Chain A
């Protein structure tokens, strides 16, 4: 009799929270992840509803209204963030610039993610010669200076949104390949993979239904981090004059255009830079946060 009662504290131990509850608790408790998600969500909304949110056209020039100061520096609410050297509304250009950054970041990360995942999973799953070739290609890719190659290719092919996306997509697959290779190696040694192979499942079936679901967490983290990487690179290319071409509103280009007036109007450089910094920071925090909540041991 006494034993039954005494077992109570043990039962409490066993009936803990479910995995979903644990995950929810971790997400809510992770300030970086919440901040990142919030900012990214906000900027995605801004990008989608840019035409509704922008007070002016991002392209409309007004040479009589050049370099109007933002409202916090004595300007008016007509142009809350002032106007650029061609009299275009700065806030509207920033809002449309979010579209450029997010589009390039997302599509480039998806392209490079597809290439890198295919390579990494193949290397990890088949091993041997396939692995040797993939590892070699990763080495070659890492040896090539990204900014330089991207600039050269964009210069040769001409700067357009499509070219920039394509070039970044074809250059940033290295981290996907490295991480997916390592994750696949880890997963393929597990018993359930051997079990699937033992019952005669085809290679594609094993990869798609046994391996992929178990490495998709890592993939999402890398997609996030590489998206941030692509956004930064696009801004850098555009800043150097060999990325997205004017008059397309790109934040990197806006910094570049403001640079000449930096001495007198530093806000022209400051504003697009801060926005770019915050977006990249938010995406990185989101990626780091996702890694923390899905693999809790990564940062003790």
Chain B
């Protein structure tokens, strides 16, 4: 899928998000760089609070008013999002960039029917008649695998199960044939059996329609299955980015390696031996943040890690660690 020569659909450089708190400035997200090409799936992984959702909302321009956004560049297909007016952002949202949220139980308006909400999504951006929009809604409901699509239109969200609702949300995101879909943990709130179905559906549809997707998740199993590119987020930074095969095959950042050790792998993980854990807790990002944010939990950290960490590695596989080799060796000893 990756077409490195082509101009990326979305190119982000130096995205930072600051939240003023009573106790000081919270530097929630720092120095985010990534490129996403048409039809590509980028998975952003990281634990809760690492800034994944904030990053996605920042691209959508849907951050709370108190959050300060700054970026060198946020180029979406030639449109500079950092300079776009509210009006411009509104015409992009739902039309060319769509978003799928985590909670299907609450992300649909309880007061309106499924049909109302699907039709609204199209008619906000296209001058089409109610009938045309309705036909499109039925078409998409069928596409996301909902049976008796026509009768579903007059139902209210509370009458559908969580899995069905998330299918509706996906259909809604696809109404205007967007170029980019941002899916923020779209399956986390669902039953395990439903999770797989919804995820396959999402991946299938984005491939079929050649839609680029940013999939935010904390589930590495999901990432391994669907990602073209992976971005690992820790404490507000993308500590490692690269093609999925590289990141999984040759993880360079100690955090990525730690994460990978936390999931059992058939054949590799020994029975009876505890799974890996990463000791410690995420540091506070209030006030001055310098050096490697992972150093408080890293076994290989030294005083040098308190200083600014330059980006290492060669594009497309980059990471933020000055001791990838040392860490690698140390780990070798451990293993």
Contacts and interface: CB of A to CB of B under 8 A. Distances in A.
Q: Taking the complex as a whole, does A directly touch B, i.e. does some CB pair lie under 8 Å apart?
A: yes
Contacts of A9: 283-284
B276 to A, nearest CB: 18
Contact of A2 (B281, B283, B284, B305): B305
A166 B296 CA distance: 67
A6 B281 contact: no
Interface in B178-223: none
Given A2-B295, A3-B296, A6-B296, A13 B302 contact: no
- Most chain B CB atoms below 10 A, which of A6, A10, A12: A6
Given A2-B303, A3-B301, A13 B295 contact: no
Contacts, number: 21
A7 interface: yes
Given A2-B295, A3-B296, A10 B302 contact: no
Give the residue among B283, B284, B295, B296 with the most A Cβ atoms within 10 A. B296
A91 to B, nearest CB: 46
Nearest to B305: A2
A228 B295 CA distance: 58
Interface string A162-185: 000000000000000000000000
A6 B284 contact: no
Interface in A1-18: 2-3, 6-7, 9-10, 12-13
Chain A binding surface, main DSSP class: helix
Given A2-B295, A3-B296, A10 B281 contact: yes
Contacts of B301: 2-3, 6
Interface in B19-51: none
Contacts of B283: 6, 9-10
B303 to A, nearest CB: 6
A26 to B, nearest CB: 12
Interface residues of A, number: 8
A238 B283 CA distance: 64
B76 to A, nearest CB: 33
Contacts of B284: 9-10, 12-13
A25 to B, nearest CB: 11
Contacts of B306: 6
Contacts of A13: 284
Nearest to A7: B296
Nearest to B297: A3
Interface in B263-311: 281, 283-284, 295-296, 301-303, 305-306
A21 B263 CA distance: 43
A139 B303 CA distance: 70
Contacts of B295: 2, 6
Contacts of A7: 296
B64 to A, nearest CB: 12
Interface string B61-96: 000000000000000000000000000000000000
A9 B289 CA distance: 11
Nearest to A8: B296
Contacts of B296: 3, 6-7, 10
Contacts of A6: 283, 295-296, 301, 306
Nearest to B279: A3
Contacts of B305: 2
Interface in B100-133: none
Nearest to A14: B281
Nearest to B282: A10
Nearest to A9: B284
B200 to A, nearest CB: 39
A3 to B, nearest CB: 7
Contacts of B303: 2
A139 to B, nearest CB: 27
Contacts of B281: 10
A12 to B, nearest CB: 8
Nearest to A13: B284
Nearest to B281: A10
Nearest to B302: A2
A94 B84 CA distance: 64
Nearest to B304: A2
Given A6-B283, A6-B301, A12-B284, 7 more contacts: A2-B295, A2-B301, A2-B303, A3-B296, A3-B301, A6-B296, A10-B284
Interface of A: 2-3, 6-7, 9-10, 12-13
21 contacts: A2-B295, A2-B301, A2-B302, A2-B303, A2-B305, A3-B296, A3-B301, A6-B283, A6-B295, A6-B296, A6-B301, A6-B306, A7-B296, A9-B283, A9-B284, A10-B281, A10-B283, A10-B284, A10-B296, A12-B284, A13-B284
Interface of B: 281, 283-284, 295-296, 301-303, 305-306
Minimum-distance CB pairs A-B, first 3: A6-B296, A13-B284, A9-B284
